Amino acid sequence: MSRTPFDQFAKQFFESFLAPLGEVKVNFEVPGEPKFIDIWFSPSNQPNVEAQNLGILTKIATLPCLIEPFRNQPKPSEVRSCLYKLFHVQSDFERKAKGEEGNIEEEKLPQLWIITHSVSDDLLSKFGAFVREDWLEGIYFLPIGLKAAIIAVNKLPRTPETLWLRIFGKGVIQQQAINEVIGFDEDDPRRSVILQLLATWKISIEASNVV
């Protein structure tokens, strides 16, 4: 299902770094629909890593979620496609809850995270996206009932908390993040994993001439 080297890098990244926090599935088929979610994550009740190790990713991984990374800003139709998949998954959660003679709490329904290097004010306006005070700058939430957000990597503050999202940036932003990872202790397992993934991505780009 991976269309570009970036797709493959993103999927391998989330498989590697979110697996200790729960179950990660790539190219996860939407229940009852011939559509696929790039990354589907379901949190574990007993995660195996310390929260501070993954910064904001740990906060994202507290609920079941769909993660849809884009190398370039998604088109409005692509955002709607992501929402379409989200609604089907949410409906499946609600259907299963009713089948078990119960109801799922709104707060426990899956969340959609769209990750992109940058996003225009026009696109944010089209979907009514806004910044929440309890989240970082650069994370734009769609109207609350949708349970969806767009992360603009180029707007994130340069802090350790955002490092693992800034890896998905471009140019200077990504290079700064890579330099921060290189600065880790050589025996830090996160360092070797991310550098290996980045090296594989670079080789794939050179082989296909696709960014």
- Between CA 200 and CA 204 the distance in angstroms is 6
Nearest residue to 12 via CA among 89, 85, 69? 69
What pLDDT, on the 0 to 100 scale, is given for residue 107? 86
Q: How confident is the model at residue 1 (pLDDT cuts 50, 70, 90)?
A: very low
Pure H helices in 100-188? 121-126, 163-166, 171-182
Average pLDDT, the chain: 88
Check residue 54 and give its pLDDT. 86
- DSSP string covering 95-120: HHHHHTT----GGGS-EEEEEES---
Could you report the per-residue pLDDT of 151-186, keeping only the tens digit for each?
999 999 999 999 999 999 999 999 999 999 999 998
Note the pTM of the prediction, 2 decimals: 0.90
pLDDT at 35 (0 to 100): 83
